[in-house]
């Protein structure tokens, strides 16, 4: 089974620079780069952003389109190879689309952070916000699980994957311009804005991993 898993598209590079911090980005289609040519996806754009700032880092794309927090939990053990120094966790969007109970999503994220803690891997947990159509109790529980878990495990925390896409002047049309036609996934320009907003948090993750 291990050999089969090692054949999937986000294989770790065979040769890594000894002085590089290796970050695995564990996520779903937002991380994987759904609907975009390879170089326009989140991980390649983040890598370029970090390179331009002189960071000695290798970002590994561990995003799987359609993955839920349960999917992330099922593969975190073999994502955390000995070469991985840090982990970006950006999961939960598909849990929302499926209306999964926030208590289930929270337990899955807890398992992921527990595995990273056991492996002594530093984490940046990236949050997600629920829409209001599931009701206030669902939204409160879902939105709160990210900061609560970040505090519990002492991880770095970014409140929202989409923070860089805040509507200019409150105009929703400004966000639509950064999205693909499905209204769910960012286009290349939208990814650039997301990376610019999350980039400083990733630099902080690199700094923590180097300590």
pLDDT of residue 18: 56
Q: What is the rounded distance in angstroms from the CA atom of residue 190 to the CA atom of residue 161? A: 11
Residue 171's pLDDT band, with cuts at 50, 70 and 90, is low
Q: What is the rounded distance in angstroms from the CA atom of residue 71 to the CA atom of residue 98? A: 13
Mean pLDDT over the full length of the chain: 90
Helices (H) and strands (E) in the chain, counts: 9, 5
111-152 tens-digit pLDDT: 999 999 999 999 999 999 998 999 999 999 999 999 999 999
At which residue do the structure tokens 């982990």 appear? 87
31-71 tens-digit pLDDT: 999 999 999 999 999 999 999 999 999 999 999 999 999 99
Residue 83 DSSP label: T
Q: Which residues are catalytic?
A: 29, 182, 185
Q: What is the rounded distance in angstroms from the CA atom of residue 125 to the CA atom of residue 89? A: 5
CA distances from 109 to 127, 159, 178 (A): 11, 15, 28
pLDDT of residue 173: 60
Residue 12 DSSP label: P
At which residue do the structure tokens 């950006």 appear? 90
Percent share of the chain, pLDDT over 70: 88
pLDDT of residue 175: 83
Residue 169's pLDDT band, with cuts at 50, 70 and 90, is very low
Q: Is the pLDDT of residue 6 over 60?
A: no
CA distances from 188 to 4, 30, 37, 92 (A): 31, 11, 9, 21
What are the sequence ranges of the domains in the chain?
21-210
User: 114-117: which pairs have CB atoms within 8 A and are 24 or more residues apart?
Assistant: 114/153, 115/73, 115/76, 115/77, 115/80, 116/76, 116/80, 116/87, 116/89, 116/153, 116/155, 117/153
Q: What is the rounded distance in angstroms from the CA atom of residue 111 to the CA atom of residue 23? A: 19
pLDDT of residue 19: 79
The CATH superfamily of 21-210 is SGNH hydrolase (3.40.50.1110)
149-164 tens-digit pLDDT: 999 999 999 999 999 9
């Amino acid at each position: 089974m291990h050999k089969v898993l090692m054949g999937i598209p986000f294989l770790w590079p065979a040769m890594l620079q000894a002085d590089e911090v290796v970050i695995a980005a564990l996520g779903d289609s937002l991380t994987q780069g759904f609907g975009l040519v390879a170089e326009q996806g989140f991980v390649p754009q983040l890598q370029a952003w970090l390179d331009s700032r002189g960071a000695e880092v290798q970002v590994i794309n561990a995003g799987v389109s359609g993955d839920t927090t349960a999917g992330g939990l099922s593969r975190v053990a073999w994502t955390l190879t000995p070469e991985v120094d840090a982990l970006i966790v950006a999961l939960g969007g598909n849990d929302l689309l499926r209306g999964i109970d926030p208590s289930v999503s929270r337990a899955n994220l807890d398992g992921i952070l527990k595995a990273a803690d056991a492996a002594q891997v530093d984490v940046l947990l990236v949050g997600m916000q629920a829409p209001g159509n599931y009701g206030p109790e669902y939204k409160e529980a879902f939105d709160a699980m990210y900061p609560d878990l970040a505090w519990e495990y002492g991880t770095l925390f970014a409140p929202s994957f989409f923070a860089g896409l805040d509507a200019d002047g409150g105009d929703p049309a400004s966000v639509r311009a950064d999205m693909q036609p499905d209204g769910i996934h960012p286009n290349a320009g939208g990814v650039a804005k997301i990376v610019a907003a999350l980039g400083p948090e990733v630099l902080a993750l690199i700094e923590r991993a180097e300590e």
